Structure 1
């Protein structure tokens, strides 16, 4: 089919979107739902909107001179951009008084990212700040603040200023686990990896502009909620739109058991031109919030310890336990006994084993998304939930 042609004197919508003044004039009157509907009009309009309003490189330019190189380091450090920056990215807005928040695990991942910010981007660490809540100590070690040091050269400084600030939230655990366990309200459960942006509660946050507390509302968290109320997010203990219109989809997701990347997650694929791909695949983040690890897996996984997730990881655990015990034969007797601490096979807790895997060790990370899809397609999760309800059991 031939592409549409403008009627005499009436330009195509795509033509209007190609010019900044007319595009901004249109977008000024559209909320997020309108923009998403507009993006469905055609592939060309979708690309135009994504390139102009969800362009991660242009958003990062306030803080980073070389966004693609930075995102390469973000992936290699297994770090996540979060906080107000991620919220602004999805909302298509900019708060000039905000900073860039990054969550990164302590150790070599932190060292690599901090070195990049100082040696490549010209930032200096100014202070270290302990987390406010003592209960966060199991997840957050400290918050490191980096301020940009102006060079007086436009080619070097780029769009950065003396007020450009980056905060690294340094964790004891995976960044995802720290976000899910310590963030205080649903509106801020958004994060950006090297190649994708995720919002776990997009319907409530961007369509209804509501947020539900995830922590007790004390004086500290109350002040934070006040800040977001002033920015346009109403705090609800039960979303009012869902109360008044029960026929609508739940703003917080339609399943009792959520995971990153499920059908209720908004996921934006980012342009990865010139960005180096890290070794860890995306499904490690998306089949995720307890930590699951095994000597037969290359990576640690994060999962909600409720409902179908427990069933899934229990089955995975049985398989991997047998696999790990079998593979111990690839080691010398001395190495094997050292790895299991002289325990008998029936007494070995395989997920707790800590040893250096020998050459030729087999890993099974690639089977995890396949098994999850298989169990979901076959209705295994639904059948288990029906059995639990039949016996008067609820998913806690």
Structure 2
């Protein structure tokens, strides 16, 4: 009997055990398999099934990781990244549906009204703003507002920024949580590493806070391997787990899933956002730093005659990137 002849519950039992890459490959085998997988995706990747835990029947890290991984973590929170100018609308709506503002113990903003009246970062006000704190991922954050609801306990954090909230995503502690959702699509930036067979997550080397170490331990307990270094095969080539170069939301290296049901709203502008990601291999060589300093001082013409073949392969990408950006 073919899988397309089985009831949807049987489909789910079988397809739940396939990785995203295996689902994609199976869907390409024939039209019947394509239809089965497409129907499965429409059933399984339902935003409502996760949001109902927070909002009843009526951007986002753990929440999105659950969405892509087809998993539910009972103790997970919901992070909402919004532009600072929209903070009041979001906060008031959360209050109206039963959430209560919970100030940080060290915050001078003891009420929601006081917190919402803030028009800019309060330096060193941990728990209200982390703009000058130890976490690079909060570099552009203005406010971090915590809301909670009891029976059952749920927690939501509203994280505001003056600029595009998306700019915080590449600063997250590791790649497994670099996933976003809009009104009509969900995007995973590193799907091969995050949801592939090895389930790896690359650390953000700039983020060394104590909170980050706790986050690493949490995701390791959920069977992600947190790594600090990668080799050339990981960042170079069509099948790279941590692809480099110019990236764009929704590019061929992303995993993009439409959100069902379709709300028939206008297309957004999220896919116009792009960023540059670079990875380099640094061999143990005492002369390396002198060499880099020399070629960057001379500029592209002078550097061309100075390039040592010992470094050519390892640093070709570094030199090209440097000249493109600064020369």
Q: TM-score, normalised by structure 1?
A: 0.57
Does 1:46 find its partner at 2:24? no
Change (3 A) 1:247 1:167: closer
> Quick one: which of 99, 102, 127 aligns to 1:126?
102
Show structure 2 runs of 5+ residues with no match: 105-126, 279-299, 305-318, 323-327
What is the CA–CA distance in structure 2 between the aligned matches of 1:25 and 1:224, rounded to whole Å? 31
DSSP 3-state at the match of 1:258: strand
What is the CA–CA distance in structure 2 between the aligned matches of 1:135 and 1:202, rounded to whole Å? 23
> Quick one: which of 177, 189, 206 aligns to 1:216?
206
Does 1:105 find its partner at 2:96? no
What is the CA–CA distance in structure 1 between the aligned matches of 2:79 and 2:44, rounded to whole Å? 20
Q: Is contact 2:135–2:208 with CA below 8 Å preserved after alignment?
A: no
Q: Indicate the RMSD between aligned Cα atoms, in angstroms.
A: 3.1
Q: Is contact 2:11–2:40 with CA below 8 Å preserved after alignment?
A: no
Does 1:277 find its partner at 2:265? yes
Change (3 A) 1:14 1:390: farther
Counterpart of 1:77 in structure 2 is none
What is the CA–CA distance in structure 2 between the aligned matches of 1:306 and 1:175, rounded to whole Å? 18
Counterpart of 2:123 in structure 1 is none
Counterpart of 1:197 in structure 2 is 186
Does 1:92 find its partner at 2:78? no
Aligned residues: 257
Change (3 A) 1:232 1:239: farther
Change (3 A) 1:247 1:277: closer
Q: Is contact 1:86–1:191 with CA below 8 Å preserved after alignment?
A: yes
Q: How does 1:347-362 map to 2 (within 5 A)?
A: none
Q: Is contact 2:135–2:207 with CA below 8 Å preserved after alignment?
A: no
Q: Is contact 1:210–1:239 with CA below 8 Å preserved after alignment?
A: no
Q: Is contact 1:17–1:48 with CA below 8 Å preserved after alignment?
A: no
Q: Is contact 2:205–2:228 with CA below 8 Å preserved after alignment?
A: no
Q: Is contact 1:105–1:174 with CA below 8 Å preserved after alignment?
A: yes
Q: Is contact 1:190–1:200 with CA below 8 Å preserved after alignment?
A: yes
Change (3 A) 1:257 1:103: same
Q: Is contact 2:27–2:34 with CA below 8 Å preserved after alignment?
A: yes
Counterpart of 1:287 in structure 2 is 272
Question: How far does residue 203 in structure 1 lie from its aligned partner after superposition?
Answer: 1.0
Q: How does 1:124-273 map to 2 (within 5 A)?
A: 124-128=100-104, 129-130=127-128, 131=130, 133=134, 135=136, 138-148=139-149, 161-180=151-170, 182-207=171-196, 208-216=198-206, 218=208, 220=210, 221-239=212-230, 242=233, 249-253=239-243, 255-273=244-262
Q: Is contact 2:192–2:241 with CA below 8 Å preserved after alignment?
A: yes
Q: Is contact 1:147–1:162 with CA below 8 Å preserved after alignment?
A: no
DSSP 3-state at the match of 1:395: helix
> Structure 1 residue runs of 4+, over 6 Å off?
245-248, 388-391
Does 1:25 find its partner at 2:13? yes
Counterpart of 1:304 in structure 2 is 275
When structure 1 is superposed on structure 2, of 54-63 and 194-203 the one drifting more is: 54-63
DSSP 3-state at the match of 2:233: helix
Question: How far does residue 248 in structure 1 lie from its aligned partner after superposition?
Answer: 6.8
Q: TM-score, normalised by structure 2?
A: 0.68
Question: How far does residue 183 in structure 1 lie from its aligned partner after superposition?
Answer: 0.8
What is the CA–CA distance in structure 2 between the aligned matches of 1:64 and 1:164, rounded to whole Å? 10
Deviations, residues 261-294 of structure 1 (Å, cap 9, x unaligned): 1111111111244x3626xx43x31121xxxxxx
Change (3 A) 1:240 1:52: farther
Change (3 A) 1:82 1:389: farther
Change (3 A) 1:135 1:199: closer
Deviations, residues 286-321 of structure 1 (Å, cap 9, x unaligned): 121xxxxxxxxxxxxxx43689xxxxxxxxxxxxxx
What is the CA–CA distance in structure 1 between the aligned matches of 2:16 and 2:253, rounded to whole Å? 27
When structure 1 is superposed on structure 2, of 192-201 and 226-235 the one drifting more is: 226-235
Q: Is contact 2:201–2:225 with CA below 8 Å preserved after alignment?
A: yes
Show structure 1 runs of 5+ residues with no match: 1-9, 68-80, 150-160, 289-302, 308-387
Counterpart of 1:155 in structure 2 is none
